[in-house]
Structure 1
Amino acid sequence: MSALEIQHLCKDFSSTQVLKDVSLAIDSGEFLILVGPSGCGKSTLMNAIAGLEPVTSGKILIGGEDVTWRTPAERDIAMVFQSYALYPSMTVRGNIAFGLEMRKVPKVEREQAVERVADLLQISHLLDRKPSQLSGGQRQRVAMGRALAREPQIYLFDEPLSNLDAKLRVEMRTEIKKLHQRLGTTIVYVTHDQIEAMTLADRIAVMRDGQIQQLGTPNEIYNDPVNVFVAGFMGSPSMNFISARLEKDDTTWQLHISDPEQGAELSLPWPVDRVTEAMVACQGQSVLLGLRPEHFAEAGDQRSGHQQAARLEALVSVVEPTGADVLINLGLGGNEVVARVGPDCRVAPGERLALSVDMRRAVLFGQQGGQRLA
């Protein structure tokens, strides 16, 4: 039985449909992340699960029970908000224990729960402080502690790290990951940060315009995107999209890319064992070739491990050393693309750079609609 099941959920605000027939199931102990750009409906979906937002149609089941029209208090959930939502007049101890006190949990059990959670989150030394005496990261731990003290069926996290600085966000991501691994709790987590999604989730639901575009593991979402939107949203830097004409030459398939700078045409071979029916149907048509920055490597770099690599040469416009590698902006097929190469690359803007392209990992999309072809 799924810990959480959402069946054909719709939500309208006046004449605007914010959620459009959303369905998904979350297993017990699973960490699911809802990710997408602002306005895609992920927070509305979270609020609907929490009971904070009534739905227009559809069902929400928690532990097999229909809770669609139950109040938040009747749903056996706990929520961690973006704004922490701590009571400023209470100590940390009081904030963690408050929800238990409202549910008439005996004092001895409340104190045991507070001590257990404080020890788990390493905030025992903060129990007698007020929220105003805490840092942002400490406040977020307290907010998490208040949720964890409850031991509900499902934890809901609504962009809990968005108010923290970059370094602290990385640290808190690690803490949340450790916490989930230790407790095996069921978590639904909302974020617009695709790095958070990739590092934390067991599965990711990518949302756009009130619909789930793709539901899968981080590896599936990143390496096998179903459309251009998912491919472009996940990854930093994002995937490069290059217009190309798909042609078959005898037994081989080629992607022909116009190069206005050279007044010529660049051809990249497509692996024969990766030809699909959808791709065959687009023979002779314009398609979109998707290449992630790491699909490129400096020609001759033995560390890249690229198999069936194609070779090309392009003019460099920007060089960005990052320490571990170098990001290079190049002109390719009338587009500016980003390549991630090794830290020893010594190219300068204005020079031409020879690159290998790992066509085994490339993806193809239709020009119309942006659906995956291969």
Structure 2
Amino acid sequence: MSALNIRHVDKTFGSTQVLKDISLSIDSGEFLILVGPSGCGKSTLMNAIAGLEPVTSGEIQIGGEDVTWHTPAERDIAMVFQSYALYPSMNVRQNIAFGLEMRKMPKAQREEAVARVAELLQITPLLDRKPSQLSGGQRQRVAMGRALAREPQIYLFDEPLSNLDAKLRVEMRTEIKKLHQRLGTTIVYVTHDQIEAMTLADRIAVMRDGEILQLGTPDEVYNDPVDMFVAGFMGSPSMNFIPVTLVSGGDGYVLRVLDGDDPTGAPLELPWPAERDAQALQARVGERLILGLRPEHFVEDETRMETSFDGTRLEVMATVVEPTGADILLQATLGETEATMRLGPKSRVAAGERVALRVDMSRAVLFEATSQRRVA
């Protein structure tokens, strides 16, 4: 396997710049995921790495070699597409072996490679079937097998699971994870599904409007987002964004939220942890900020001793209760915001009831209201 280096890559279609000064370094054997909304440029970047789309400027290196202007065949990469792109007239064995045959690999070696990947992907009983006789998951395994048979320097996956149903997508995600752990391959993987990104990646690059907003491990991107876009895009349900005012309170700072449930207008105040960014907040007293709290930062008050969960106590009115089996999603109003809280499956709260919660402010984040950049 080989490292991949992308340096200051731009791509323009007419007057529209779709990639803006992209720089990435991917270590040999690393699993990098490009994630972002539709139209953010992730598939264009993937096509540029593959050589399917020439860059406007910048440099792409594979294994230390400049391949910026090499054809796809000269780059020694294998790509798995969203569409399976299997030859309908060929059986599974022939589909997997076709690329090897085009590279003039001897027949004995081709057969050995087909047998190896078929066993690896557990598709040996399917080798004599045509694609029309396979399920969606089996077709995707064949497409992966065709790429794996080649043993290239880098594998590129362009939304390979998006055509599968939810259950099969989870199963194939697990198979891809196992495959990477067994082979230690270098993989660049494009998806719009942030759950896929969190579960598969060594590192995640979050893209928007042709730029990489944040590059980091799943934990870094999830728990230390650089701005509100990254914070809201990663996580399901997404982070709650609550407008607050920062005020001085005793020995530290307090985030004041207007309690819309209280007819007297009494403010809801959440203390900011004294040990976090006290100096950085000094100049922001009186400023309107955005408090970011994830649904799992809340827990019912009576369960906190059982779960070793401490935090600031508050009461909310449940407006919507959504049981999911593994947990319960509760929607309640915090100030001007309809917030989502994730409670345990044994919770008995019903819509229209008031419920006492604890919120873990040690995991909260703060953003500027205008720039949406993180400040603490």
TM-score by length of 2: 0.97
Are residues 1:227 and 2:230 paired?
Answer: no
Cα displacement (A) at 1:261:
2.6
Measure the CA separation in 2 of the matches of 1:129 and 1:345: 50
| Aligned equivalent of 1:120 | 120
| Aligned equivalent of 2:332 | 330
Measure the CA separation in 1 of the matches of 2:107 and 2:11: 41
| Aligned equivalent of 1:205 | 205
Describe the superposition over 1:172-228 as per-residue Cα deviations: whole angstroms up to 9, x where unpaired.
000000000000000000000000000000000000000001000001111111110
Of 268, 271, 293, 1:266 maps to 268
Cα displacement (A) at 1:257:
0.4
Q: Which amino acid aligns with 1:316?
A: A
Are residues 1:18 and 2:18 paired?
Answer: yes
Whether contact under 8 Å (1:329, 1:337) holds in the other structure is: yes
Of 347, 350, 356, 2:349 maps to 347
Measure the CA separation in 1 of the matches of 2:278 and 2:74: 50
Measure the CA separation in 2 of the matches of 1:228 and 1:278: 18
Q: What value does the CA root-mean-square deviation take over the aligned residues? A: 1.1
Map 1:237-256 to 2 at 5 A. Answer: 237-256=237-256
> Gaps (5+ residues) in structure 2?
none
Does 35-44 or 347-356 show the bigger shift? 347-356
Describe the superposition over 1:32-69 as per-residue Cα deviations: whole angstroms up to 9, x where unpaired.
00000000000000000000001111000000000000
| Aligned equivalent of 1:290 | 292
Measure the CA separation in 2 of the matches of 1:2 and 1:366: 40
Whether contact under 8 Å (1:31, 1:200) holds in the other structure is: yes
Describe the superposition over 1:57-113 as per-residue Cα deviations: whole angstroms up to 9, x where unpaired.
100000000000000000010000000100001110111001111111111111110
| Aligned equivalent of 1:306 | 309
| Aligned equivalent of 1:146 | 146
Cα displacement (A) at 1:264:
1.6
Whether contact under 8 Å (1:297, 1:304) holds in the other structure is: no
Cα displacement (A) at 1:322:
1.3
Cα displacement (A) at 1:303:
3.6
Q: Which amino acid aligns with 1:71?
A: T
Whether contact under 8 Å (1:325, 1:343) holds in the other structure is: yes
| Aligned equivalent of 2:281 | 279
- In structure 2, do the counterparts of structure 1 residues 317 and 269 end up closer, same or farther at CA, with 3 Å as the change threshold? same
Measure the CA separation in 1 of the matches of 2:2 and 2:315: 52
User: Matched residue of 1:373: which SS?
Assistant: coil
| Aligned equivalent of 2:359 | 357
Measure the CA separation in 2 of the matches of 1:192 and 1:276: 36
| Aligned equivalent of 1:183 | 183
Measure the CA separation in 1 of the matches of 2:343 and 2:202: 29
- Among the aligned pairs, what percent are the same residue? 73
Measure the CA separation in 2 of the matches of 1:276 and 1:95: 61
Q: Which amino acid aligns with 1:96?
A: I
| Aligned equivalent of 1:257 | 257
User: Matched residue of 1:160: which SS?
Assistant: coil
User: Matched residue of 1:360: which SS?
Assistant: helix
Q: Which amino acid aligns with 1:367?
A: A
Measure the CA separation in 1 of the matches of 2:47 and 2:278: 41
Of 317, 320, 323, 1:321 maps to 323
Whether contact under 8 Å (1:276, 1:373) holds in the other structure is: no
> Gaps (5+ residues) in structure 1?
none
- In structure 2, do the counterparts of structure 1 residues 289 and 319 end up closer, same or farther at CA, with 3 Å as the change threshold? same
Describe the superposition over 1:324-354 as per-residue Cα deviations: whole angstroms up to 9, x where unpaired.
2111000111110000011121111111111
User: Matched residue of 2:302: which SS?
Assistant: coil
- In structure 2, do the counterparts of structure 1 residues 38 and 138 end up closer, same or farther at CA, with 3 Å as the change threshold? same
User: Matched residue of 2:284: which SS?
Assistant: coil
| Aligned equivalent of 1:160 | 160
Q: Which amino acid aligns with 2:249?
A: D
Cα displacement (A) at 1:276:
4.7
Does 269-278 or 291-300 show the bigger shift? 269-278
Map 1:35-46 to 2 at 5 A. Answer: 35-46=35-46
Measure the CA separation in 2 of the matches of 1:330 and 1:342: 16
User: Matched residue of 1:344: which SS?
Assistant: coil
Measure the CA separation in 1 of the matches of 2:279 and 2:149: 53
- In structure 2, do the counterparts of structure 1 residues 276 and 192 end up closer, same or farther at CA, with 3 Å as the change threshold? farther
* Count of matched residue pairs: 373
| Aligned equivalent of 1:88 | 88
Cα displacement (A) at 1:368:
1.3
